[in-house]
Amino acid sequence: MGMSGIYGPADRAESIATIHAALEAGVNLLDTGDFYGMGHNELLISEALKGTKRDQAILSVKFGAQRD
């Protein structure tokens, strides 16, 4: 799912709501990387996890490859 504008404009509130819906549905692995929006997705995940039980989410972040 694109939250960094690679597939067109992304709505911040909708992106955070999507993360919340995934967590509520039992998804516990959030996979991202700096390649997807140069850190934008990580900021969205950080905001989405505020006030939640962070220990219930596993965050996988890839790094090293960036877009020109």
Active site residues: 36
Phi, psi of 55, rounded to the nearest 5 degrees: -70, -10
Residue 23, C-beta contacts closer than 8 angstroms, at least 6 positions apart: 48, 52, 56, 57
